[in-house]
Structure 1
Amino acid sequence: MQAILITAYKNYDHLEDLVNFFDDNFNIYIHIDKKSSISKENLNKLFSKKRVQYVSQQYKINWGGINHLKAILELAKEAIDNKDNKYFHLITGHDYPIKPLEGFSKFFDNNKGNDFMEYHTLPYSPWPENGMDRLSRYNMYDLLDGRTGLNERLIKGFSKLQKAIGFKRSFSKDFPPLFGGSTYWSLKRESVEHVFQYMNDHPKYLKRFNYSFCSEEIFFQTILLNSPMKETIINNNMRFIIWEERNGNFPANLDFSDYENIKNSEALFARKFEYPVSEALLDKIKSDISKT
């Protein structure tokens, strides 16, 4: 069995299509943002589906804040409790598979024992301030919705103040060397189990990510790249993502101009799909993978 972990907050119809893509060889675990306008009726409809094992609205999620990481950990904990789950795929409600269903089983049959996760050592120059400000300063995304104009200015202003006065948060002596990368991964059971064992052995590790920025892009990489699991991690998360500002979003909301690149990609999932800009592309992808 493979576990699909989904964090979502809107576009219920797309989420339902995503769930319906998978067959009985998959168990599905979903967290819906507590702020979401998805109705209780639709949540119940989702939970009634045979493949869906868990639906939660535990956390109110601010972009950049720690609650997205906590929601991911909640889903992973539920999924790891089922011993039948051997691989774990983290995606969002804006994602969709771009390979036929049988391709998933075949791919992981051919890659038993490997993890698929993007990673870089930190500091990492393509990230603003090499990514170090994420943990070296107090970032207030846990408290404020940084997507609104005033809150964004407050958050950035407080960060700039810390930089100006030379303030840096400290790390404990046993804190591991930092790694970061894309949030979304496909991990084998042993690796997910190792994450929870590490958290159990180092109870202060998660707490150090309070008031950080996009902690989910550092948390898992840092644990696993400092473990024996590093030998089996393929530095490719098998996700098709365009890291540019396009169609009103960063990363880009995909549109039909991305079709050929998606078709030729080795990735298993693509993101982000948004309506209506992605609708024609998504219809074409669904048609292609249903025929294969």
Structure 2
Amino acid sequence: MISGQDWPLRSADKIVKFFEEHNGTNFVQYWNSKNHGSHQQNNLDKRNQIYFPIKLIGRKPWQKIIKRGWVEFTGGYNRTWKIFERKQLGIEFYFGSSWWALKRETIDWIMQYITTHPEYYKFYENATCPDESFFHTLVMLSPYADENTDYLTYLHFQKGANSPDILTEDNLQRARESKYLIMRKVDMNVDDSFLQI
């Protein structure tokens, strides 16, 4: 799983060789809800705990403002008034980075599960940031839950930031010396030197 703002740190041949050597491994970051098992609600839980109308889900300024107001009205990020709790699926949710690489058996299991449990897909239509929970929860529901390792994308976050830094050529060497295959995020309007490498 990559995006248009990702940049390969290895050649295509080396990336293919890596997956051949790690055949049968799921690369996905995950942690459970309730603050990593401390049973205290946090803003990750809130994403799935209340109903978010589809029109509120987006990056437009007015959507962000109304969505934040809705979160506060329903109890804030660290709690939810009972009256606003949506009907849950009866499963434990997991969260993590959007960037993952899953083996074929896991993908096949996920596709079969979604086909036989349409309520799962429907539930996430009204959750925020579903890409940071949808697949992670399914992997942990699957028979392959114990066959996971970390994700393969190099990121750099400023302390307290919600999004990773835009990386430049200055970051490239450090990223290449890391264990990761891909780095994000890059923006050619900020630094297009990647095109020359």
- TM-score (normalised: structure 2): 0.85
1:240 aligns with 2:157: no
Q: 1:194 to 1:150 in 2, by over 3 A?
A: same
* C-alpha distance in 2 between matches for 1:96 and 1:171: 37
Residues 110-134 of structure 1, C-alpha deviations (whole Å, 9 max, x = no match):
1111111111111236xx9240000
Residues 56-93 of structure 1, C-alpha deviations (whole Å, 9 max, x = no match):
xxxxxxxxxxxxxxxxxxxxxxxxxxxxxxxxxx1111
* C-alpha distance in 2 between matches for 1:182 and 1:100: 23
1:169 corresponds in structure 2 to 86
Percent identity between matched residues is: 25
Give the deviation of 1:283 after TM superposition. 3.8
Q: Is the 8 A contact 1:241 1:252 kept in 2?
A: yes
Counterpart residue type for residue 110 of structure 1: E
* C-alpha distance in 2 between matches for 1:200 and 1:267: 33
Give the deviation of 1:249 after TM superposition. 8.4
1:22 corresponds in structure 2 to none
Give the deviation of 1:257 after TM superposition. 3.0
Counterpart residue type for residue 151 of structure 1: Q
Aligned ranges 1:276-291 → 2 under 5 Å: 276-280=189-193, 282-283=194-195, 287=197
Gaps of 5+ in 1: 1-89, 288-292
Q: 2:63 aligns with which of 144, 147, 151?
A: 151
Q: How many residues align?
A: 188
* C-alpha distance in 2 between matches for 1:229 and 1:199: 16
Gaps of 5+ in 2: none
* C-alpha distance in 2 between matches for 1:123 and 1:261: 34
Q: 1:102 aligns with which of 3, 8, 13?
A: 13
Q: 1:151 to 1:231 in 2, by over 3 A?
A: closer
Q: Is the 8 A contact 2:25 2:102 kept in 1?
A: yes
Give the deviation of 1:145 after TM superposition. 6.1
* C-alpha distance in 1 between matches for 2:73 and 2:86: 14
Give the deviation of 1:163 after TM superposition. 1.4
Residues 160-193 of structure 1, C-alpha deviations (whole Å, 9 max, x = no match):
1111671222213xx3211111111111111111
* C-alpha distance in 2 between matches for 1:217 and 1:145: 14
Counterpart residue type for residue 148 of structure 1: K
Residues 241-273 of structure 1, C-alpha deviations (whole Å, 9 max, x = no match):
12338xx98221112331232121111111111
* C-alpha distance in 1 between matches for 2:71 and 2:102: 34
SS of corresponding position for 2:102: strand
1:260 corresponds in structure 2 to 173
1:203 corresponds in structure 2 to 118
| Structure 1 ranges of 4+ moved more than 4 A | none
1:191 aligns with 2:102: no
User: Quick one: higher RCO (CA 8 Å, sep 6+), 1 or 2?
Assistant: 2
2:49 corresponds in structure 1 to 136
Give the deviation of 1:275 after TM superposition. 2.2
Q: Is the 8 A contact 2:106 2:142 kept in 1?
A: no
1 or 2, which has the higher strand percentage? 1
Counterpart residue type for residue 220 of structure 1: F
CA-based RMSD: 2.4
2:132 corresponds in structure 1 to 217
